[in-house]
Structure 1
């Protein structure tokens, strides 16, 4: 099993429940021995939730018997049935398999924009969220200490690229943080704090529909967030960002959330892909390769419920259910039984904008304000896998509602690079040719 996201963890846990100890050995490859609840990452960045509250340990329970290999899969040789792994000690090892389930997830989608990877922050990992919180608060401190009006203005402008769920929630949550924090800085003019949310698309979160999209836009604009659609980044520098409409925004904070692409691991297989995602059957098996399955963000799983030609969106609700179905299909294959296709009708969407603001569309019903917030947080809370995580998250929410925000920055990562290029290690993966050469050199190749 490769990957410990929603899909991978659901699959592993179901395999453990359905397979006897003498029936199969289960191995999980992941660089971190926890499952990250990604939808709540913006609330970690804004300090509403603590980082450990959304990092669900995979080693907490003694009843689980899966062997965890701390590292990342960087290549797969389908012919030799070998997965190539780079461990956290930077060693490259090969792991043979009988059945392989690929759920490596996705990485941040970037474009060939000058300065982007050198100067933009991402919002895909726990470390990035924690770092962004420190960074945003430090901009207030540095602006307060500066005697240069131009520097002060640039430190108090923030740009978020990406009008999807991640970008919208990130901008909304962090704007609330700075709005609350600036009250503790009497030397700073609150009017200097400006948040920009931009997206090349013509609509904000189009999946919500026109009415809820407009409602979300109104919430953001009421808070003073400037939303620009049909606009992207032309180039990025350390102290300014140039938009494609010609505007130059002086800023020290560029947060890039403009979508994701399948993990680079998928390209090492040399198999057919659909927009970068591995092409699989409705049973999530890889055509022509018995015992190989793929799911989640990295796989183009046919959306049977929507009809021919549609693929499932890379959302948590699909990934979790796909994980359980793949586990059932692996067990069925192992026992000589027939597999079943993955069918799931989308339950709706929730967008938490912080405080009392939210927009939701559960089962097609459009909600906004407090009812939407109750649905959004109720959904996230119920989706957390452990009671410990549920308790931590609920406690954090209550404490934040009663005591308000805090503005402490840890400084733990202040001396480490933390831009897009520093977190996702996308240069670590092999090409299909390198995988084959490595496997043959290790003596596991198929003649």
Structure 2
């Protein structure tokens, strides 16, 4: 009798946790060869996304926010590649390996933790000129870009060019956008001492969001305190304002104003991985609709969780009337339930429903500044920063990863930044579709052709 194969798509927060849980719960079956677990991921690391703004700002190194899969995964097989399509009828995941070969990977159980990508809008010039902040490549590119703008402005004698290069626009007033603007504003402020010809008043950061409030998830009071803190630091915040057009030299906003700039950072939300569109199933707000036990409705052998899943929130009133937000907190907890349910389905046992009360949010605004809303408490300042960084250390997998982050925080606190551009991304286009590889997924027609060829 052949082994039951469990395929896990992705090794982010949800994927890695699910694999580790499966390894623990199926230790005996894995040892006897009765079950095999295969995790498909294009990189050999899990990325801790919440600290990406600090990577871009040079507070911590890129390696510090990665969890090496060879150390984190003990018994599961690792297939280096990307699942670019799923044939639910044939029970096959289509994998494009890192050598560009495309292969079919049959499964008995499938756990989809494909995550999310930057949400784009049909705004002229956005794809060509907008910079993302969703992976290590984009964070490294953004840091290089920001520092290069200061260098070029310092070398320029044209007042208009200098002003445009010293103006930075971040779109998205949520968690990611606010932290990115706050962290990089501290970077440019500290870097100015390296550029004596630059007038510090030229350097301007602007945070733009269509919503009426900044980070509404924090609640009105904390959101207003964060807004006041950013404005006192000189960061312009434009609420109830969107982007109408982006060019290489400017950003036009929906209120008609034009900001001369060479930098637009787009963090206006995320959407589920394009993989979900290859499933041919019902989507809710772009995510895969699941049952309360995290299964794909109608497919008892397929589980979907994390950012790609529309999971009913049983803590809402009434239960299930809302969806669980796509956060790392929910993803890691869904992974435990999904892995346990996969094990239960193999053993003929009943499955559990997913239910988790959100523990709150933490937002690092750089230096000693932060706002936090843990367990319904409202915190600001140094105490909020301690809670925020304590939470990140708690959430980071593996002690060696935590040690790297702490060492980087201490080194940056006492040694500052060297303001070095890495340079290896010079000449690369900035499109998020290139960095996030969203063009690599198979179309519906390509999926049909593969199914037809297989039959």
Q: For the superposition of Structure 1 and Structure 2, which TM-score range results when normalised by the shorter chain?
A: over 0.9
Query: By how many angstroms is 1:207 displaced?
Result: 0.8
Q: Deviation of residue 425 (structure 1)?
A: 1.9
Q: Does 1:29 align with 2:36?
A: no
- Aligned ranges for residues 184-333 of structure 1 at < 5 Å? 184-306=194-316, 307-333=319-345
Q: Which residue number in structure 2 is paired with residue 134 of structure 1? A: 144
Which residue in 1 is equivalent to 2:366? 354
The range that moved more, 357-366 or 178-187, is: 178-187
1:56 aligns with 2:63: no
Alpha-carbon separation, structure 2, partners of 1:134 and 1:26: 39
C-alpha deviation, 1:186, in angstroms: 1.3
Q: Residue 133 of structure 2: which of 107, 123, 135 is its match? A: 123
Q: Is the 8 A contact 2:85 2:278 kept in 1?
A: yes
Matched with 1:8 is 15
Aligned partners of 1:198 and 1:186: how far apart in 2? Answer: 29
Looking at structure 2, the residues matched to 286 and 303 of structure 1 have their Cα atoms a distance apart, in angstroms, of 16
Map of 1:134-153 to 2, 5 A cutoff?
Answer: 134-153=144-163
Identify the match of residue 171 of structure 2 among 161, 174, 177: 161
Identify the residue that residue 400 of structure 1 maps to in structure 2. Answer: 412
Maintained 8 Å contact 1:70/1:88: yes
1:180 alignment partner in structure 2: 190
Looking at structure 2, the residues matched to 94 and 392 of structure 1 have their Cα atoms a distance apart, in angstroms, of 38
Q: Which moved more, 1:169-178 or 1:130-139?
A: 130-139
Task: Give, in angstroms, the shift of residue 23 of structure 1.
Answer: 3.0
Measure the CA separation in 1 of the matches of 2:433 and 2:332. Answer: 28
The CA deviation string for residues 189-221 of structure 1, in whole angstroms up to 9 with x for no partner, is 000000010001111000101110011001110
With structure 2 as the length reference, what TM-score do the two structures score? 0.96
Question: Structure 2 CA distance, aligned partners of 1:349 and 1:329?
Answer: 28
Distance 1:179 1:66 in 2: 46
Is residue 171 of structure 1 aligned with residue 181 of structure 2? yes
Gaps of 5+ in 1: none
SS in 1 for 2:322: coil
Contiguous gaps of at least 5 residues in structure 2: 1-7
Residues 423-442 of structure 1 correspond to what in structure 2 (within 5 A)? 423-441=435-453
Q: Report the alpha carbon displacement of residue 405 of structure 1 after superposing the two structures with TM.
A: 2.6
Structure 1 position 414, deviation (Å)? 1.0
CA distance in 2: counterparts of 1:333 and 1:433, whole angstroms: 33
Quote how far apart the aligned CAs of 1:308 are.
2.6
Please give the secondary structure, in 2, of the residue aligned with 1:334: helix
| Inter-partner Cα distance in structure 2 for 1:102 and 1:374 | 34
Secondary structure in 1 matching 2:312:
coil
1:82 and 1:94 in contact (8 A); partners too? yes
Contact 1:94 1:439 in 2 (8 A): no
| 1:45 alignment counterpart | 56
CA distance in structure 2 between the aligned counterparts of 1:326 and 1:191, rounded to whole angstroms: 52
How many Å apart are 1:403 and its aligned residue?
Answer: 1.6
